[in-house]
Amino acid sequence: MLKSAKIKNLTVFSESEFNFSPHLNVIIGENSTGKTHLLKVLYSLLAVLFNESMNPFTVTPTKTLLQRRMAEKLFRVFKPDSLGRLVRRRQGRDRCELEFIFSNRLLNSSFSFSTSSKTEVEIIQLPQEWINEPTLFLPPRELLTIYPGFVSVYENHYLEFEETWRDTCLLLGKPALRGPRESRARELLQPLEEIIGGKVVLEKSGRFYLRIPQQGTMEMHLVAEGFRKLAMVAQLVANGSLLDQGYLFWDEPDANLNPKLVKQIAGTILHLCANNVQVFLATHSLFLMRELYIQALEHRSLETKYFGLHHKDGIIEPQSGKTIDDIGQIISLEEELQQSDRYIDLEV
């Protein structure tokens, strides 16, 4: 579990510290306050430390290996011209410094890079072991319809897509679970499949379809976009990528969803938290935040933490708390509330 992060001079952040919940973390702020950047830097570190392909008993983290992998991941996730472009913009040279604290102290790590860095990262504190739990990043749009051939094209050609898309497509292609974990997945899959009207299937052609009872299969491109987003979650649950343990980063999960589907997404997120997935999400949606709060009251063992990102004197200052009321004034939320008041006044 990721306990905290200290971020100095990363893009819009001057010097900020975040202490996270082991369950659900909701990041809120106006545009350009760094919500997605925060998700991306946390994801990059965890994705680099997850070492599924290497034998943990024969290979341990080394500075040389992690410096290369971290630099490559940041570059491919953020897509800057050089790493130095991620350092907060101001006159003169400066350094970005990042420190991460885990519940397992052997994973604690920190690194930095300067405005003059092109592809170089300096490891300050080297973690002593790898992370065993998978890390997943979901972008605002669904990826099932771009899946066919995307990974192959991405790895053989230069594309301007962030590497988070490639990473998630790799997970979408994993085979379905079998055995005891399949039974655990059914509990979460059933309500999702009831809403989207069928079961997600990946055919040998490399395309995703929705198998509808008594109707056959429907091409995923013909399924409504909001349902495709839920179908993507269903596929990741069915193959075990998003089931129990690990980390989920979700940028605007409410995008392109109506309120009824947002309620289902909120329930799915909390169910994942209850199954030991540490969730980080960024949103503008007051409806989603309230729905998470309402449904979280039914899961009293789950800890939810809200982070408000605020512009102040040219820098971003975070405020955190257990409710939306604890994180200061968020303009996007205030505008939504003011619109409701204006609408009610019209009715009067």
By DSSP bridging, strand 109-114 and strand 122-125 are: antiparallel
Average pLDDT over residues 298-326: 88
Average pLDDT over residues 321-335: 80
348 has pLDDT over 60: no
**How far is the C-alpha of 44 from the C-alpha of 181, rounded, in Å?**
27
Instruction: Compute the C-alpha angle 234/236/241, nearest 5°.
Output: 145
The residues pairing with 118 across neighbouring beta strands, listed in sequence order, are: none
Contact 254, 288 (CB under 8 A): yes
Would you state the pLDDT for residue 57? 47
**How far is the C-alpha of 42 from the C-alpha of 55, rounded, in Å?**
24
Per DSSP, the residues of 56-92 read: TTT----HHHHHHHHHHHHHHHH--SSGGGGBPP-SS
Average pLDDT over residues 89-114: 91
Q: Tell me the domains of the chain and their CATH numbers.
A: 2-134+245-347 (3.40.50.300)
Q: Among 143, 5, 119, which Cα is nearest to 71's?
A: 119
Instruction: Compute the C-alpha angle 162/166/169, nearest 5°.
Output: 140
| Side-chain-side CA neighbours of residue 269 (13 Å) | 32
Would you state the pLDDT for residue 332? 67
Would you state the pLDDT for residue 17? 95
Would you state the pLDDT for residue 323? 87
Cβ burial 296-324 (10 Å sphere, 16+ → b, else e)? beebeebebbbbbbbeeeeebbbebeeeb
Would you state the pLDDT for residue 216? 93
CB atoms within 10 A of CB 338: 10
Would you state the pLDDT for residue 58? 52
Round to the nearest angstrom and report the end-to-end CA distance of the chain. Answer: 51
**Could you report the per-residue pLDDT of 9-38, keeping only the tens digit for each?**
999 999 999 999 999 999 998 888 899 999
Residue 241, C-beta contacts closer than 8 angstroms, at least 6 positions apart: 134, 136, 171, 172, 174
Of 98-107, 262-271, 336-345, the least confident: 336-345
Q: Among 122, 118, 99, which Cα is nearest to 109's?
A: 99
Average pLDDT over residues 266-289: 92
Residue 50 DSSP label: B
By DSSP bridging, strand 304-312 and strand 208-212 are: unpaired
Contact 269, 293 (CB under 8 A): no
Helical spans, DSSP H, in 203-297? 225-238, 259-274, 286-296
Give the three-state DSSP class for 7: strand
By DSSP bridging, strand 24-29 and strand 277-283 are: parallel
Q: How confident is the model at residue 74 (pLDDT cuts 50, 70, 90)?
A: very high
Would you state the pLDDT for residue 4? 97
**How far is the C-alpha of 311 from the C-alpha of 122, rounded, in Å?**
29
By DSSP bridging, strand 95-102 and strand 2-10 are: antiparallel
Average pLDDT over residues 274-292: 92
Q: Could you tell me what percent of the chain has a pLDDT over 70?
A: 96
| Tokens found for residue 206 | 């490399």
Residues in the chain: 348
The rounded mean pLDDT for the chain is 90
Contact 319, 328 (CB under 8 A): yes
54 has pLDDT over 80: no
**How far is the C-alpha of 33 from the C-alpha of 308, rounded, in Å?**
9
Q: Which of 103-107, 118-122, 238-242, 343-347 has the highest mean pLDDT?
A: 103-107
